[in-house]
């Protein structure tokens, strides 16, 4: 092809057709430019296709992480609701709102259950990889790019500052309930199933009178009750923030599914 064009140029110069030669040369330049533009367009198309493939791979991984998060959020909500119920029972008793149908052993068990925590670990490896590698721009959906940093940043921070804390009450109550009673409660009133913690009722380890004496000492500890009130207040606020985190998780999953659909 190059030889062919060279021959045409040579013939035009040989025959003295200068004007035709310049016209031909301009035409040849235009053809070269068009060829370069087409090559660039093909190259851009190829790069865009590769980036889109990579974007979908990231989106698929993000979706898997978020589905895992959504399950963890639901389990965390249920767990902390049980902790809140236990703490509320203790506070009602300590504040003189006795329910005669509740046994002393159940109240004592509630003191123990109210100390439980379950830090929720969000799946952030894919997001952190995107951020650290500078490839967050691969995600073309602006809504997704805006929601992900909040979900893994301030959204998670709100949880960690409320129900995600390690409350002083936890250390205090575990220093006050005798070890043999706590060991029995761990073995019989608390169950771990995989990643799930279950707080449950259990048969009494001590008599009602023994439990009553111990509860009297606990309820008379004003600092202990004060710390429990603080922790229960945090859980109450934290449940709302966790629900919001769950809704945000659902919204991000929906956006990802839209992107993966085409």
| pLDDT average, residue stretch 237-247 | 91
Q: Is 62 a residue whose pLDDT tops 60?
A: yes
Q: Is 224 a residue whose pLDDT tops 80?
A: yes
Q: Is 13 a residue whose pLDDT tops 60?
A: no
Do 120 and 76 touch, CB atoms closer than 8 A?
yes
| pLDDT at residue 3, as a whole number | 53
Q: Is 4 a residue whose pLDDT tops 90?
A: no
| pLDDT average, residue stretch 191-200 | 85
- Measured between alpha carbons, how far is 242 from 160 in angstroms, rounded to an integer? 10
- Structure confidence at residue 193 as a pLDDT band (50, 70, 90): confident
Q: Is 45 a residue whose pLDDT tops 90?
A: no
Q: Which of 50-54, 58-62, 208-212 has the highest mean pLDDT?
A: 208-212
The number of distinct structural domains making up the chain is: 1
The mean pLDDT value of the chain amounts to 85
In the chain, % of residues over pLDDT 70: 83
| pLDDT at residue 132, as a whole number | 87
- Measured between alpha carbons, how far is 254 from 144 in angstroms, rounded to an integer? 10
Domain span at 183: 2-260
| pLDDT average, residue stretch 2-27 | 56
Query: In terms of Cα–Cα distance, which of 262, 218, 242 is closest to 107?
Result: 218
- Structure confidence at residue 48 as a pLDDT band (50, 70, 90): low
Six-digit token string for 168: 């002083």
* Rounded-to-10 torsion of CA 8, 14, 16, 18: 40
Do 118 and 197 touch, CB atoms closer than 8 A?
yes
| pLDDT at residue 121, as a whole number | 83
Q: Is 207 a residue whose pLDDT tops 60?
A: yes
- Structure confidence at residue 36 as a pLDDT band (50, 70, 90): confident
Taking only the tens place, the pLDDT of each residue in 165-176 is 899 999 999 999
pTM above 0.75, yes or no: yes
Do 245 and 76 touch, CB atoms closer than 8 A?
no
């Amino acid at each position: 092809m190059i030889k062919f064009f060279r021959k045409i140029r040579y013939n035009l110069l040989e025959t003295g057709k200068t004007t035709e030669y310049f016209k031909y040369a301009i035409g040849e330049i235009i053809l070269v430019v068009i060829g370069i533009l087409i090559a660039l367009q093909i190259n851009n198309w190829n790069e865009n296709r590769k980036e889109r493939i990579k974007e979908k791979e990231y989106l698929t991984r993000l979706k898997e992480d978020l589905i895992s998060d959504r399950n963890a959020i639901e389990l965390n909500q249920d767990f902390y609701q049980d902790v809140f119920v236990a703490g509320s029972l203790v506070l009602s008793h300590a504040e003189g709102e006795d329910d005669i149908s509740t046994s002393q052993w159940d109240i004592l068990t509630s003191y123990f259950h109210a100390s439980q925590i379950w830090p929720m670990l969000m799946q952030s490896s894919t997001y952190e990889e995107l951020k650290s590698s500078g490839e967050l721009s691969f995600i073309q959906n602006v809504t997704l790019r805006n929601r992900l940093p909040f979900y893994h940043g301030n959204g998670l921070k709100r949880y960690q500052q409320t129900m995600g804390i390690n409350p002083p009450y936890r250390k205090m109550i575990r220093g006050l309930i005798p070890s043999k009673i706590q060991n029995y409660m761990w073995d019989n009133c608390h169950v771990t199933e995989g990643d799930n913690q279950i707080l449950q009722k259990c048969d009494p380890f001590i008599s009602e009178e023994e439990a009553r004496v111990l509860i009297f000492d606990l309820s008379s500890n004003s600092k202990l009750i004060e710390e429990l009130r603080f922790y229960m207040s945090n859980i109450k606020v934290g449940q709302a923030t966790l629900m919001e985190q769950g809704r945000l998780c659902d919204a991000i999953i929906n956006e990802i599914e839209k992107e993966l659909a085409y």
